[in-house]
Structure 1
Amino acid sequence: MIILEDGTELEGKDTNRDRENEFFDSVEAFNGMEITSITANEDNATIAVECVMDVTFEGGNRMELEQVAVQHWQGDLIKKERFYATQNG
C-alpha cells in the first residue's frame, strides 16, 4: 500500500508505477536529487528517507521538492510506504 501526501491510498505495484509514470511524464528536466537523511528501526522493519529533488516541469516551472518516505518492510519487500512532502518554487 502507498499513502500519498494528501492521504490517498494506492494498492499494488501497477497502480504505483502508473502514478510514477504520470509524474515523470510531466517532468521536462530532472536537475538533481540529494538524500539528506535516512534512519531505520530494525525492531519494527521501518525506514525513513528524506530527500530533496530539483525538477523542471513541462512549461519551465522549476521546483524543489522535499520529501520523506516512511517504508514498512516485510522481508525484502516494502509492504507499506507513506510520503510526506513540500514544494518550493
Structure 2
Amino acid sequence: MAAQRQLTVTPAHPFHPTVKELLVVLSVSLVLLTGVIVGFLVHTGYQRIVPGLVTALFGFSLASTGIAPGITSGIESIAGWLASLG
C-alpha cells in the first residue's frame, strides 16, 4: 500500500501580510486607540459621557449611510499603501 502525502497550503510570507489582514489589524488597532483616547478624555473631564454617547451614535448612523463605502475604501487604500511599504 502506497503512502499518501498530505498537501499543506502555506500562507503568504509570514512577514508580509495581505491587504485584508492588514486592514483587520488596522481596524482593531484604530478601535483600541480611539477607545483609550475617549476613556482618557472622560477620565480627565475633557469629554462628558452624554456628548460622547451622541458622538458614538452619530458614528453608528454614519456607518449605515452612503458615505460608509467611501470611508471603508479610504481605510483599505491606506492599508494597501502600508502593505506595499514592507
TM-score normalised by L of structure 2: 0.27
Higher relative contact order (CA 8 A, sep 6+): 2
Q: Which structure is higher in helix share?
A: 2
| Structure richer in strand, relative to its length | 1
